[in-house]
């Protein structure tokens, strides 16, 4: 009977943990990036509104 290869199992478990951690960081980065994009688009919309409101009346 073959003996279990614990080193291989441990390595696979470590690789799975590493992949999961990287995916988590990637989703967090995307979430943070999306939030900042929405904020910047709202700010630019506000800037546009303020520019149109400040038209000189001659």
DSSP per residue, 9-34 = HHHHHHHHHHHHHHHHHHHHHHHHHH
- pTM value surpassing 0.85: no
pLDDT (tens digit, 9 = 90+) per residue, 11-23?
A: 999 999 999 999 9
**Cα angle value 15/19/22 (rounded, 5°):** 135
Structure tokens at 32: 């943070």
pLDDT at residue 36 above 60? Answer: no
> Cα separation of 31 and 20, whole Å?
16
């Amino acid at each position: 009977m073959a003996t279990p290869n614990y080193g291989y199992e441990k390595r696979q478990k470590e690789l799975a943990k590493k992949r999961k951690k990287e995916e988590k960081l990637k989703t967090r980065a995307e979430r943070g990036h999306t939030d900042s994009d929405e904020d910047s688009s709202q700010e630019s919309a506000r800037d546009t509104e303020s520019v149109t409101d400040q038209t000189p009346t001659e």
